[in-house]
Amino acid sequence: MATTAMAKCPKCGAIIPAQSVSCPKCGTRFKRSTSTSTGTAQSRAVSPQNSSANRAVVNGNNATKSANQPKQTPTKVEKKKNSWISVAALVCSLLFITGPVAVILSIIDIAKKDDEHKHGLSIAAMIIGFLGCMGWVSVFLPNAKDDASQTQIEARNSTETNSQYNYEQAVANANTDSDNYNSSKATMIMPDVLGLEKYDAKSDIRNALGSYVDFDEELVYSDTYEKGVVVRTEPVAGAMVGEGATVTLYTSKGKEKIMPNLIGMDVESAEQLLSDMDISMYTTEIFSESDKNTIVAAEFDPGTDLSDEYSVDVEVSKGSLQAFKDSTQVIGYEDLYRYPETYEETPLKINATITKIEDSRLLGITYNLSYWATYEGETVILYDDRSVQEPTLKVGDKVTAYGYGDGKSTIDIKQKEYQGSLLIGFSYNKTVDSYYVPKIKVEHFDIR
């Protein structure tokens, strides 16, 4: 029994006989393909009246063949493309500068076993990149050859020049007086380094005599050259010196600083003498039988080396103590209180009783002391500025104070104030009153 071949409508998907001219469901007409016809030319030429039987036979045969033979699907051939490595290699080769990079990329692309990409661009990039590399070689190779040739020429010229110089130097050394130097070794001249700093002088000498020269150093006083400057050398400048010789540098340690005898000199002259040696002078005035404004004592004995010193302390006479006492005048408290500025430069004498001492001491050193004393029944402040604070005073001493008026001083009357709770409490001094009293800069005390 013959089986009718069936087909699927491409538009609506209905299953219909394969030889249908149109789809009975959607009405779509089909285009007949001559490739499916297996009849001969004669059968294709049969008239329409006889075609029905023939088509039935043909369709039967076609159905049989379709059942026996597998349906063949045509193979789709994919087109090969260029890889990104081949494109990059071509770009690098065209830049000329990156020719070596193009060659490397091309080799990498060709070496890959890849059937999906073409290698034509990689081959072209390799050729162009290789030509670029050859261009690089042609550009730099001549310069390298020229540099090498130039170096050889300069070396040859330098050798010839040095040979000529050595020959002339050897002839000159051979003709020099042998009493001045050893002709086999003395081939260098001692440079002039006077007035140079020590380290600069050593550098110049090494440049002239070689780096193996030895140095000895001596420190000397000099009124001409500053401290640290070379004042002379051994051997002297211009002398012929043998290789490996020893050079002695005499370096200035400045002007000679020897302590002079300042006793009896006036302050201005002594200060100028020490200043010429770059030494400062600090003075302290004391009563002395020596003339006023003259040096009566010094920190160092005459002849002491002051090279490491920067200052000297001296004591200066401010005249006879008795002469100062005789020059004082007694002043009443009322005038001293009302006109304090009038008596600031006037030698004064007052009789007072010490009632309180404010001890100004720090780290065991006693500084200027402040005494509260009663003078004519009123309070005064006595500032003890003496260089030697003798005699030592205590509360209750009756003294005669010699000094100068020094304005007024403020006295604060204080009392303790307690604050806080019963458990945690503290106190501090609270000023409840202040008043001014005259003050005197004391030069001397006599205890009565």
Q: How much is the pLDDT for 181?
A: 40
Confidence at residue 321, expressed as pLDDT on a 0 to 100 scale: 92
pLDDT of residue 365: 62
195: left (phi over 0), alpha (psi -120 to 50) or beta: left
Q: Give the integer Cα–Cα distance in Å for 99 and 126.
A: 8
Half-sphere exposure of 69 (CA within 13 A, CB side): 9
Q: What is d(CA 121, CA 82) in angstroms, rounded to the nearest whole number? A: 7
Closest CA to 271 of 256, 287, 285, 260: 260
Q: Give the span between the Cα atoms of 107 and 85, in whole angstroms.
A: 10
Sequence-distant (6+) residues with CB within 8 A of 76 are none
Q: 375 forms bridges with which residues in the sheet? A: 378
Task: Please determine, looking at this structure, whether the domain spanning 187-252 carries the CATH number 3.30.10.20.
Answer: yes
Closest listed residue to residue 112, CA positions, set 79, 76, 82, 78:
82
pLDDT the model gives residue 364: 60
Decide: 206 and 243 in contact? Cβ < 8 Å: no
- For domain 258-325, give the CATH number: 3.30.10.20
- CATH 3.30.10.20 maps onto the chain at 187-252, 258-325
Amino acid at 337: Y
Q: Count Cα neighbours of 116 within 13 Å in the Cβ-side half-sphere.
A: 2
* Torsion of the alpha carbons at 100, 104, 109 and 111, rounded to the nearest 10: 140
Rg (CA), the chain: 62
Residue 195 CA neighbour count, 13 Å, CB half: 3
Can you tell me the distance from the alpha carbon of 444 to that of 386, in angstroms, rounded to the nearest whole number?
A: 7
Q: Do 119 and 127 form a contact (C-beta atoms < 8 A)?
A: no
Crossing angle for the helix pair 99-111 and 84-94, nearest 10 degrees?
A: 160
Cα–Cα dist 119/85, whole Å:
10
Buried/exposed code over 240-268 (b: 16+ C-beta within 10 A; e: otherwise)? bbeeebebebbbbbbbebebbebeebebe
DSSP 242: E
**pLDDT at residue number 48:** 41
Q: What is the pLDDT of residue 138?
A: 66
User: Alpha-carbon distance 403 to 383, whole Å?
Assistant: 9
The first and second tokens of residue 182, run together, are 């050893």
10-residue averages of pLDDT along the chain (448 residues): 68 76 76 46 39 42 44 51 71 68 73 64 73 67 52 51 48 45 60 92 90 89 88 91 88 87 95 91 92 94 89 94 94 93 92 88 67 94 79 90 92 79 69 91 90
User: What tokens does 131 get?
Assistant: 């030509």
What pLDDT shows up at residue 230?
94
Which pLDDT belongs to residue 137? 63
The first and second tokens of residue 333, run together, are 């408290």
